[in-house]
A and B are shown apart, each in its own frame.
Chain A
Amino acid sequence: MLAPPGFEFFGALLDHAFLRYALLAGILASISCGVVGSFVVIRRISYIAGGIAHSILAGLGLAHYLQVVHGVTWLSPMAGSILAALVSAAIIGWVSLRLHQREDTVIGAVWALGMATGIILISRTPGYTSDLMSYLFGNILMIGQRDLWLIGGLAVFVLIVVALFHKQLLAVCFDPEFATLRGVRVQPFYFLLLGLTALTVVLLVSVVGIILVIALLTLPAAMANLFARRLWQMMALAALFCAVLTTGGLALSYGPDLPAGAVTILLTGVSYFLVVGLRRKG
């Protein structure tokens, strides 16, 4: 008898802890993905998220290099990613707001600079370089218990910050000029939004990798936008879509041994175009 696709995965889930970690990581990351991804879509900063994602390679490369060459253990790859993401978000925000440079040019610079730094650091690190592939395209099956705690902690942090400041964040995204006149300090809230984006990108990089992260951050939110009348509905729906897509990607890739990140993104992209196409007709 032919088993349905993904069937093997749910059977194996009982036997292997790493599969349970991967599943849980995808679901936890989906919460921040839905919440922050919605802001990224409505504020139209997906290109910034792309820049931040690629610059993470510098942080991963640095952690890898320090660990292998200098025996430094305190900078885990996840901590290195957080560091690189926050630094590049700050650079993008600061250069475009304060130095009045074109934002897309600054993003391009940070994007490529981050990748170049990462590649040099990785090339100076002796040993097996297959890690590079898992950084770029994700390896959700490598997630350990410690990473899981970090992912959960970051997800909770993002939720708390958004719950505290959602009024201001919404107003700043909808009409920054009006928000300014109502006494909201627009620039700090913009930086806060970039910071939250950076943290969420780090979470999602551990699920689908640097290159594919932008699709997972924005497409579930873009689909949710078609059905939601209010921001919280968009966030909840986007989180649900994201959780279903990461779980689906994991399940479908397990049996035929395909890369989970790529399958997740393929599923996400196809769903997006299907939903947009059907909504247009309907």
Chain B
Amino acid sequence: MKPVIRCSKMQFAYDRKPVLDNVNISIPDGDFVCVVGPNGSGKTTLLKLVLGLLKPTIGRIEVFGDPPDQGRRLIGYVPQNSQLDPLFPVTALDVTLMGRLGRTRPFGAWLGDDKQRAREALAEVGLADHHGQHFASLSGGQKQRVLIARALASDPRMLLLDEPTAGLDAHIEESFYRLLQSLNEKLTIVLVSHDLGFVSGFVKSVICVGREVVVHPTSDITGQVIADLYGSDMRLVRHDHRCSDGGHQC
């Protein structure tokens, strides 16, 4: 099976100053990965490289075996919802339908198929009854779920989430991770987060972004690794761990 994402000897630099250097990672199909690292560590840069919005300075990156600007068709991207205009005149269904772009005819109105797929996607995230609701009137957690439905509507093979729990309450966070866990049964999930504590109970492997990028199976995440990464010791809550096969490749 081809890896979902593969980087080999990849470097990325803004104005000759490398942000990421010698990145070698391979994310297998079906994985549930968390990309962690402190603010300014290059997490967002890595995300943009995967999405083909930036090009590596040196080395290669492949998404589903293709260059990112082709392979990204199979990525369902879930951005941070704080970047969106809260007054925008759209319903939950309108937002979800945007995921059908590229999968439908280019001109004119949405097709019946698109609407059906979008409703299914909303049902998958537990918002079947909210399709006609104004996006602005939804809670933060519901908005986040609509953005996941939008990503699911494009029939992706991988979900890529950028700081999905920023600004969510702890109890909402837990049900949110359970949703991701159930989606992981058919999709690869990659989420980017600055906060590792909670995530570690659900994910199969962790990619730490610092000057170098290191892949760990979750069982290897010790106080020492985190201290190396964040510069100070942090309390780590132990959960039951599962290790991915591709954990320690570099």
Contacts and interface: CB of A to CB of B under 8 A. Distances in A.
Contacts of A181: 51, 72, 75, 77
Query: At the interface, is chain A mostly helix, strand, loop or mixed?
Result: helix
Interface stretch (B20-28, B93-101, B178-186): B93-101
Contacts of A170: 90, 94, 98
Interface string B39-62: 000000000000101000000000
A182 B101 contact: yes
B84 A164 contact: no
Nearest to A231: B89
B77 A231 contact: no
Contact of B94 (A164, A168, A177, A231): A231
A181 B72 CA distance: 7
B218 to A, nearest CB: 29
A79 interface: no
A231 to B, nearest CB: 5
Contacts, number: 74
Interface in B197-247: none
Contacts of B134: 229
A163 interface: yes
A73 B102 CA distance: 47
A230 interface: yes
Contacts of A7: none
A166 B53 CA distance: 24
B87 to A, nearest CB: 6
A38 B88 CA distance: 10
B88 A178 contact: no
Contacts of B84: 174-175
Contact of A183 (B73, B91, B94): B73
A167 B95 contact: no
Given A164-B107, A230-B90, A174 B85 contact: yes
A39 B87 CA distance: 13
Nearest to B93: A230
Interface residues on A, range: 20 to 34
B79 interface: yes
B188 interface: no
A164 B105 CA distance: 11
Contacts of A225: 87, 89
Contacts of B90: 170, 174, 229-231
B111 to A, nearest CB: 11
A230 B101 contact: no
Nearest to A235: B89
A101 interface: no
Interface string A152-190: 000000000001111110110111011111111000000
Nearest to A179: B101
Interface string A228-255: 1111011000000000000000000000
Given A182-B154, A230-B90, 20 more contacts: A163-B108, A164-B107, A164-B108, A167-B110, A170-B98, A171-B98, A173-B88, A174-B85, A175-B79, A178-B79, A180-B53, A181-B75, A181-B77, A182-B101, A183-B101, A183-B102, A229-B89, A230-B94, A231-B89, A234-B89
Interface of B: 51, 53, 72-73, 75, 77, 79, 83-85, 87-91, 94-95, 97-99, 101-102, 104, 106-110, 132, 134, 150, 154
29 contacts: A38-B89, A42-B88, A166-B109, A167-B101, A170-B94, A173-B88, A174-B85, A174-B90, A174-B95, A174-B98, A175-B83, A175-B84, A177-B53, A177-B77, A178-B77, A178-B79, A178-B98, A181-B77, A182-B98, A184-B101, A225-B89, A228-B89, A229-B91, A230-B89, A230-B90, A230-B94, A231-B89, A231-B94, A234-B89
